[in-house]
Amino acid sequence: MVGAGTIATFLVAGGASLFMAWAIGAGSSGSTPFAPAVGANAISVMRAGFFVGLLGLAGAILQGANVTEAVGRELVLNVTLSPLAATVGLITAAVLVAIGVFAGYPIATAFTVTGAVVGVGLAMGGAPAWGKYQEILTLWVATPFVGGGAAFATARLLRNERVPEIVAVPLLAGLVGAIFANVEFVLLGPAGEAASLAATAAAGLGVPTLAGRLGVTVGFAALVALALRWDMRGSPADGQRHFLLALGGLVAFSAGGSQVGLALGPLLPLLDSFEFPLVALLFGGGFGLLLGSWTGAPRMIKALSQDYSALGPRRSIAALIPSFAIAQTAVFFGVPVSFNEIIVSAIIGSGYAAGGSDVSGAKMGYTVLAWIGSLVLAFGVSYGAFFVLDTLLF
């Protein structure tokens, strides 16, 4: 039987988690997905905040389990986070992210939450999960180079006068369609598992093999490319705008699937005492993201869309395509990733494709320092706060 003290502690930790979800929604997951589209004048700031909240909620429910499990159970070995540890870690991370939101600098949420959870976990006497850290660090270090490089190459392709936009943009849309066909959703798989559109369709056609999935992927990509080419026949500008908004929606959905785990992961050990379905927890976290997107994201959307680089439709498309691909890779492997790092790197890469004259070097430098500082500060504050509170209370 669950005691009153355990319930009270869970409510406190749940409140901290909800605050964290709000801070993430107001910051990385709420601002970054549509920032390039806003910078290209494809959608207003307020509409972007509205839609990103709804799409983030959907992504949290349908794709949030992997990262949630990783943050809650895989960052520290040999210990299970106590209610006090979970609460301290969540409050530390949430306050730092909220400071970034109100100061106008995009704090890397994944850095902050990871540092805070590892800090309290080690303070409890846990052992470092070096294998998981290596996996996380590899993605964090590779993201600026892969995302920025891919955005640079895509922007250069779209600026190449020898390749007509009515050819290049639909081809890029086909690439996005191929990625989307292999994104896994919990609704498509058996109980407790996820499956992709390609795998589900191939199984329905009686060819549940790699070749079958590849055939479905190519067919879906071709349909997407042809649909956008048809849309661009009357007005190439309108077709680009529609593609850009679709990309923003996909990135917003991916943000929900990734970022909700940063808010909910530390709560997982507390749920062992309750019969609480994970999908209900994901819905609650997604609702927190939605509230953050609706109430706090406009400020950060403005910062990302205007302060880093003046974006046009082509460079915005170039920024969002690798962002979507990296985000889904992180969701698939259950790696906490910063959407601020993903989007900012892609925006900078696409900006340098135009010569880099309007990319703010000072803003870039301060942002990188904020990322590193948030990781170190979250670790130190959470470690120290838990040690002091644990000593005083126990």
Q: Give CA–CA dist 46/67, Å, rounded.
A: 28
User: What is the longest distance spanned by two Cα atoms in the chain?
Assistant: 71
Averaged pLDDT score across all residues of the chain: 83
Q: Give CA–CA dist 247/154, Å, rounded.
A: 14
pLDDT of residue 43: 79
Q: If we measure between CA atoms, which residue out of 257, 318, 333 comes closest to residue 55?
A: 257
pLDDT greater than 60 at residue 115? yes
DSSP for residue 75: S
Among 21-35, 46-60, 221-235, the minimum mean pLDDT is found in: 21-35
Q: Give CA–CA dist 2/98, Å, rounded.
A: 33
* pLDDT (average), residues 286-291: 88
Residue type at position 335? V
Burial 245-264 (b: 16+ CB within 10 A, else e): bbbbbbbbbbbbbbbbbbbb
* pLDDT (average), residues 255-284: 81
Q: Give CA–CA dist 331/191, Å, rounded.
A: 19
pLDDT of residue 128: 94
* pLDDT (average), residues 86-100: 81
Total number of residues shown for the chain: 394
144 exposure class (CB count in 10 Å sphere: 0-12, 13-18, 19+): middle
Q: Dump the DSSP string for 113-170.
A: HHHHHHHHHHHTTPEE-HHHHHHHHHHHHHHHHHHHHHHHHHHHHHH-TTS-HHHHHH
* Strand residues in the chain grouped as ranges (E): 76-77, 127-128, 184-185, 195-196
Percent of the chain scoring above 70 in pLDDT: 86
Segments making up each domain of the chain, as ranges: 4-393
Q: Give CA–CA dist 321/197, Å, rounded.
A: 19
* pLDDT (average), residues 331-348: 84
For the ranges 83-92, 265-274, 290-299, 346-355, the one whose mean pLDDT is highest? 83-92
Q: If we measure between CA atoms, which residue out of 85, 82, 70, 53 comes closest to residue 264?
A: 70
Say if CB 83 and CB 272 are below 8 A apart.
no
Please tell me which residue, 113 or 3, carries the higher pLDDT value.
Answer: 113
pLDDT of residue 358: 54
pLDDT greater than 80 at residue 305? no
Among 164-178, 308-322, 336-350, 370-384, the minimum mean pLDDT is found in: 308-322
In 3-state terms, what secondary structure has residue 66? helix
Q: If we measure between CA atoms, which residue out of 9, 25, 35 comes closest to residue 244?
A: 35
Say if CB 30 and CB 53 are below 8 A apart.
yes
Report residue 214 CA to chain centroid gap.
Answer: 27
Question: To 10 degrees, what angle do helices 4-26 and 278-295 make?
Answer: 40
275 exposure class (CB count in 10 Å sphere: 0-12, 13-18, 19+): exposed
Report residue 192 CA to chain centroid gap.
Answer: 22
* pLDDT (average), residues 179-201: 84
Question: To 10 degrees, what angle do helices 109-123 and 4-26 make?
Answer: 150
* pLDDT (average), residues 19-35: 73
> Whole-prediction pTM value?
0.84
Residue type at position 252? A
pLDDT greater than 70 at residue 394? no
pLDDT greater than 70 at residue 255? yes
Q: If we measure between CA atoms, which residue out of 304, 271, 367, 295 comes closest to residue 21?
A: 295
Burial 334-343 (b: 16+ CB within 10 A, else e): bbbbbbbbbb
pLDDT of residue 15: 81
For the ranges 43-57, 214-228, 304-318, 367-381, the one whose mean pLDDT is highest? 214-228
pLDDT band at 17 (very low <50, low <70, confident <90, very high): confident
Q: Give CA–CA dist 38/304, Å, rounded.
A: 9
Query: In Å, how far are 18, 51, 58, 245, 357 from 55, measured between CA atoms?
Result: 18, 6, 5, 12, 34
pLDDT band at 342 (very low <50, low <70, confident <90, very high): confident
pLDDT band at 308 (very low <50, low <70, confident <90, very high): very low
Beta-bridge partners for 361 = none
Q: Give CA–CA dist 195/181, Å, rounded.
A: 10
Please tell me which residue, 268 or 36, carries the higher pLDDT value.
Answer: 268
**pLDDT one-digit tens code per residue, 198-253:** 999 999 988 888 899 999 999 999 999 999 999 998 888 888 888 988 998 898 89
Beta-bridge partners for 195 = 185
Residue type at position 273? S
